[in-house]
Structure 1
Amino acid sequence: MNKKIIKADKLFGEVTPPPSKSILHRYIIASSLAKGMSKIENISYSDDIVATIEAMKKLGARIEEKDNYLLIDGSKTFDREYLNNNGVIDCNESGSTLRFLFPLSIVKENKVLFKGKEKLFKRPLNPYFENFDKYQIKYSYKNENEILLEGQLKSGNYEINGNISSQFITGLLFSLPLLAGNSKIIIKGKLESSSYIDMTLDSLNKFGINIVNNSYKEFIIEGNQSYKSGNYEVEADYSQVAFFLVANSIGSDIKINGLNPNSLQGDKKIIDFISQIDSWNKKEKLILDGSETPDIIPILSLKAVTSKKEIEIANIARLRIKESDRLSATVQELSKLGFDLIEKEDSILINSRKNFIYNIDKQVYLSSHSDHRIAMMIAIASTCYKGEIILDNLECVKKSYPNFWEVFLSLGGKIYEYLGK
């Protein structure tokens, strides 16, 4: 696997973060379901977004891709010519594409082969399977990277566990309003990542779909609704902004443009987390609840270890079913840099060992675990590590932030060829 040497002292300059991937997925899907032309501005063609664009085209949406905007017409979506013709939807590694499109692809009677890469199909789909069994919808694994889905989604009651992924709820929220009858999504247990549901409901509302949210315990969905076209601009992505905010909090000086202070994005919580760590001066350890913000835990962990305060980042077992076992990967790689982390089943203990000796000046081999968020966290970690970091698979950032390394270089980071094995 291709390796590079990365190094940085402090990062200085100005950055405009990419658009929110979460919001962009939602706008692409909603506008692809609306009869009429929509314009979606502020676009970044990350691998995940390309997967969603291509998926919606397979269902009949007409999408014109421009440099910084999309023109989308959903007038032909679900037309007969796009149904039951051995359609293939390639989700690449995008969990959002898979889980959002899984129920949506069968709003009308259809037969679709879903394909993916790497660990995509190791991420759970059981919440759908349990409901599909109830409604006689067929699904079968063709191999470890392909699932055949056949049948038609039906209106009715859908029960979803709240602690696996909000993406199942979002997939049904997009799909059920298009069916003839009324439906209800019933949440079993505590709903985690509710901010992602807020983003879904906001997107649906913008495109003319009304959902009744009963305190996140159930969602009442009237049938026979129609999506309305519209023109919208996508705001900056706080899950990417988090890297630069943490960099600033540990010594860099980066001006960050385009932030929406009133954003519904849950990852905006990184601002609160940084403030909590910086202001904590009690003897007992600080406990941070990471259940609502899984994507920012790797970079939050870097902030925590550099604070030299005793911290536990708790309720993060879901990190184990991301692009990598992100909980374990975070602990492994930051530990190689000499920091004090202990991996627990559902949490990370930070700076908990007395008389721990930091060792932060040797050349060290790190792995991205082929995970974009681990790679970007390591890039920021290089600003507080005196030695050289040899990192593999820098290309994995294309999943969410295609030009991240260009930005890193523009802020004063260094990338060298690695001539070793």
Structure 2
Amino acid sequence: MSEQNTTLWNAPVATRPLDATVTIPGSKSLSNRFLILAALSHKPVRIEGLLRSRDTELMMNALRALGVQCEEDPAEPTTITVTPPESGTFTGNAEIFCGLAGTVMRFVPPLALFADGPVRFDGDEQAYARPMGPVLEGLRQLGATIEFEGEQGFLPFTITPPNMLGNLKGRPQKVRIDSSASSQFISGLLLIGSRLPDGLILEHTGTQLPSLPHIRMTMEDVNGAGGSIDMPARGQWVVRHADLQLHENTVVEPDLSNAAPFLGAALIAGGTVRVPNWPAHTTQPGGLLPSVLHKFGATVTLNGEEFNEINDCECFPDTFNGMLEVTSDGTIHGLGECDLSAIGEITPSIAAIAVFADEPSELIGIAHLRGHETNRLEALVNEITRVGSHAQEESDGITISPVPREQMHGATLETYADHRMATFAAMLGLGIDGIVVKNVETTRKTIPDFVGMWTNMLEQSNI
């Protein structure tokens, strides 16, 4: 069933500078990758700090439908023990509901290669507009049969694995797909490449490759589970056959992308917001966030040591460890032209900050956001315009030309069943009185209690 909600939430206005510490739940990207890799292992895996949200529940339910056990620790709901099927073969003749979760609809279908029968995939109504063609084309090249119930390349569909039509061994192991619309198509195939009898040679045929940090995350996670993935050239990957085994006690990092609305709040409202447990090394694209906030004009420190480099949006601060602190006097500088191709998923948070800047920001390298939960570029233009500011959709991104705060006004903002559009609206509400958010509950996709965390952030600042 599609998740629908028409509730209205009055976004709170910041009446004083912030002074808050916000603990961020586990990374969705890492949680769902670890769940997939645990299912591909041969012994049980205990995952600690797993994000408990709609997307991860959908992932665990999908794995259960394939015969994988996912058991919650009664004393700690964020600890899950994953037990793969003893035979190593997944249960076929199954139905999987993807909701609106990109990681479920792009990462789970490749597992159907190793099922003992057909697997049908369906999802929310909004998911029918999210492209699936490239990963399914990859599975077709590996011998699977895809039967679509509606438009080609979109949900719903049924995958018949090649072990029902002939053995995988001996079939072509070189796959060529165009992953311009989403890095998840590449990641979905990289996650299962190790199990193919002869490994996998994967090539991206498109002109652009979005969210390369997410692909590097997948590579590091697979290699950490005993696999071997090399990227000899941009857009080419070699995956060697290997028996994967995720570490029996795996810990999930905080979701650094989900930190973006809270750290960004320090710029919009002024004051300081702190996020503990910032990892010393991370493959999360959110690890690039501090450099963007610094470019906006914030002071960024880790354990009291100031981050001073002003490079560009590709600066990766891999020396951070511990308490990340962002402080601002409320002055926000425009970014000018800023390439967000590596961190496209946090574009809505960056756009919300840019609405209050003193100069325009041209956010580029994010054409692929048109294929996310909604067309995020169009949605951002719609909602920025709705509050009285100016934005324009470009072929490769969005240009935001801010107006003074006093010229903007309250409005009821749409969220498009998109969790990041909901947090974007909450951020606007910090600096614009009268913002009402439709279906803020869509934030459950990645932040189970966003409203509670947001309210607590402001309450800490009022003490």
**Alignment correspondent of 2:367:** 317
> How is 1:148-297 mapped onto 2 (pairs within 5 angstroms)?
148-152=158-162, 154=171, 156-188=173-205, 189-250=207-268, 251-278=270-297, 286-297=336-347
Residue 131 of structure 1, CA deviation: 3.4
Q: Distance in 1 between matches of 2:278 and 2:11?
A: 28
Q: Distance in 2 between matches of 1:108 and 1:49?
A: 21
Residue number in structure 2 paired with 1:7: 12
Identity %: 25
Paired residue type of 2:117: N
Give the one of 367, 388, 412 matched to 2:458: 412
- Work out whether residues 99 and 167 of structure 1, in 8 Å CA contact, stay in contact via their aligned partners in 2: yes
Counterpart CA distance in 1 for 2:101 and 2:342 is 20
Does the 8 A contact of 2:356 with 2:404 survive in 1? no
**Does structure 1 residue 83 correspond to structure 2 residue 91?**
yes
1:391 maps to 2:441: no
Match of 1:342 in 2: 392
Greater relative contact order structure (CA < 8 Å, 6+ sep) = 1
| Kept in 2: contact 1:243–1:376 (CA 8 A) | yes
CA distance in 2, matches of 1:317, 1:162: 13
Asked if the contact 1:242–1:270 (Cα under 8 Å) also holds between the matched residues in 2, the reply is yes
Change (3 A) 1:191 1:119: same
SS in 1 for 2:282: coil
Cα distance in 2 between the residues matched to 1:135 and 1:266: 30
Q: Match for residue 308 of structure 1?
A: 358
- 1:187-240, Cα deviation, whole Å (9 max, x unpaired): 224432111111111111221111222133321122253435421111111111
RMSD in angstroms over aligned alpha carbons?
2.5
Return the alpha-carbon distance in structure 1 between the equivalents of residues 172 and 24 of structure 2.
40
Aligned-pair CA distance for 1:299? 0.8
Pair 58,155 (structure 1): closer, same or farther in 2 beyond 3 Å: farther
Distance 1:311 1:229, change over 3 A: closer
Aligned to 2:325: none
Number of aligned residues:
406
Deviation >3 Å, runs of 4+: 129-136, 356-363
**Which one of the candidate residues 22, 25, 37 is aligned to 1:30?**
37
- In structure 2, the partner of 1:418 is none
- Offset from partner CA, 1:134-177 (integer Å, 9 cap, x none): 45522122247521111226551011224221111111112121
> How far 1:7 moved relative to its partner?
1.8
* Compared CA separation, residues 362 and 201, structure 1 to 2 (3 A): closer
- The verdict on how the C-alpha distance between 1:199 and 1:133 changes in structure 2, with shifts beyond 3 A counting, is closer
TM-score relative to the length of structure 2: 0.81
1:41 to 43, 48, 67: 48
Q: Given the superposition, is the C-alpha separation of residues 53 and 269 from structure 1 closer, same or farther in structure 2, using an over 3 Å criterion?
A: same
Instruction: Give runs of aligned pairs for residues 27-176 of structure 1, distance below 5 A.
Output: 27-66=34-73, 67-76=77-86, 78-79=88-89, 82-84=90-92, 86-143=93-150, 145-152=155-162, 154=171, 156-176=173-193
> What secondary structure sits across from 1:377 in the alignment?
helix
Q: State the alpha-carbon separation in 2 of the partners of residues 244 and 135 from structure 1.
A: 43
1:337–1:359 Cα contact (<8 Å) kept: no
Give the AA of the match of 1:370.
A
Alignment TM-score, normalising by the size of structure 1: 0.89
**Which amino acid letter does the alignment assign opposite residue 457 of structure 2?**
L
Measure the CA separation in 2 of the matches of 1:14 and 1:186.
43
In the alignment, the residues of structure 1 paired with residue 407 and residue 426 of structure 2 have an alpha-carbon distance, to the nearest angstrom, of 15
Match of residue 419 from structure 1: none
1:371 paired with 2:418, answer: yes
Match of 2:304 in 1: none
Deviates more, 1:340-349 or 1:94-103: 340-349
Task: Structure 1: state its 5+ residue gaps.
Answer: 415-421
Q: Is the 8 A contact 2:42 2:88 kept in 1?
A: no
Mean Cα deviation higher: 150-159 or 38-47: 150-159
* Counterpart residue identity of residue 404, structure 1: F
User: C-alpha displacement at 1:400, in angstroms?
Assistant: 0.8
Runs of 5+ in structure 2 lacking a partner? 1-5, 163-167, 299-309, 311-330
Residue 165 of structure 2 aligns with which residue? none
One-letter amino acid of the structure 2 residue matched with residue 405 of structure 1 = V
The one-letter amino acid paired with 2:428 is A
SS at match of 1:307: coil
Q: Deviations over 1:12-52 (max 9, x none)?
A: 42210111100111111111221222111112211111111
Distance in 1, matches of 2:221 and 2:437, equals: 38
Shift of residue 110, structure 1, vs aligned partner? 3.0
Per-residue deviation at 1:359?
Answer: 4.6
Deviations 1:104-133 (A, max 9, x none): 221245300011113223211221343344
Alpha carbons of 1:285 and 1:181: their partners in 2 closer, same or farther (altered >3 Å)?
Answer: closer
Secondary structure at the aligned position of 2:436 is classed as strand
- Structure-1 separation of matches of 2:210 and 2:410: 39
Letter in 1 for 2:8: K
- CA change 1:216–1:227 in 2 (3 A) is farther
Q: Aligned with 1:412: secondary structure?
A: helix
168-177 vs 395-404, which moves further: 168-177
Q: 1:131 to 1:44 in 2, by over 3 A?
A: closer
- Displacement of 1:75 in angstroms is 4.2
